[in-house]
Chains A and B, each alone.
Chain A
Amino acid sequence: MTQNKHDVVWTIKVDAAFDKAAQRILELYGYKSKAEIVREAVREFLIRRGLANLLGGEVIVPGTSPMSPIEALGQIKAALTKVPKGELAVLANKARDDVAKEFLGEQE
């Protein structure tokens, strides 16, 4: 995250289990830092409670984006074409296995 003059630095104390869980989230989801996880967690908290307006318009809720579906698809395609097709399939399969393990308790 680029620093700007309005940013505020938080210092948060957590227990070891919480830290271990955050470390696992970094590995699973590809966040660059625990700070990024905290920012997203707070953003989700605000969205879930209908308080997204407190973010001053920064809302990521299904159906509220100003971007058209076609424009969005174009931008996703532009990003995904940088990854070879075979690798995309591997990542999709990995995602399916992760979600199954997480939500359905399915073992490999």
Chain B
Amino acid sequence: MQETKRERTPAIIDCNVWIDLLSGNDALEKKIVEEGYPIIITSYGVVEVLRALGHIARKLKIPPGNLESKFWSFCILPSIDKQFKVPFTTSLIDEVKNTPEFRVIAKLLDMEVKDTPYIVAAFQHGACLVTQDKRSILVKKEEIKQKLGVRALTDVEFLSEK
């Protein structure tokens, strides 16, 4: 495993991309685990991923804590920059207390409010946003780039990032 290369633009990956990575997308795994591409995860992102893992655990009839604890273990990876403190519940409260601002941004960009925490985090950390959300984000990638300077990438585009 290589050390995280900080000179590269970090990426924020959305919940669907996380689940894709965790379910065995070899190309994403190579990029993030083997090449050590820097990934930022916020408390809001963590909550989405943990909730998804909870739903999956329910489907598999295994205890939710099983996948959750393994997710935390995976997040020890040096290339994953965790933007929250432990316990992360307080960080989440701090992050979502800006809900009115999220709503304003969503209205301005005509997108769903649930996408704005990712956009804001990418803006805040100078990161690109990797998403599979064609309907709300990718369709507006030019506008998001122009107004906020945030690059929204598909997972395929992300794989070709240096």
Contact = CB atoms under 8 A, between A and B. Distances in A.
Given A48-B89, A63-B86, A79-B62, A106 B72 contact: no
B159 interface: no
Interface centre among B19, B53, B73, B89 (most CB of A within 10 A): B73
Given A69-B33, A81-B23, A96-B15, A63 B72 contact: yes
B64 A73 contact: no
Contacts, number: 153
B97 to A, nearest CB: 10
Nearest to A85: B23
Per DSSP, chain A at the interface is helix
B48 to A, nearest CB: 5
Given A69-B73, A89-B16, A103-B44, A60 B65 contact: yes
Interface residues of A, number: 48
Interface residues of B, number: 56
Contact of B24 (A67, A71, A77, A97): A77
B68 A60 contact: yes
Interface of B: 1, 15-16, 18-20, 22-24, 29, 33, 44, 47-49, 51-60, 62-77, 82, 86-89, 92, 96, 99, 102-103, 112-114, 117, 132
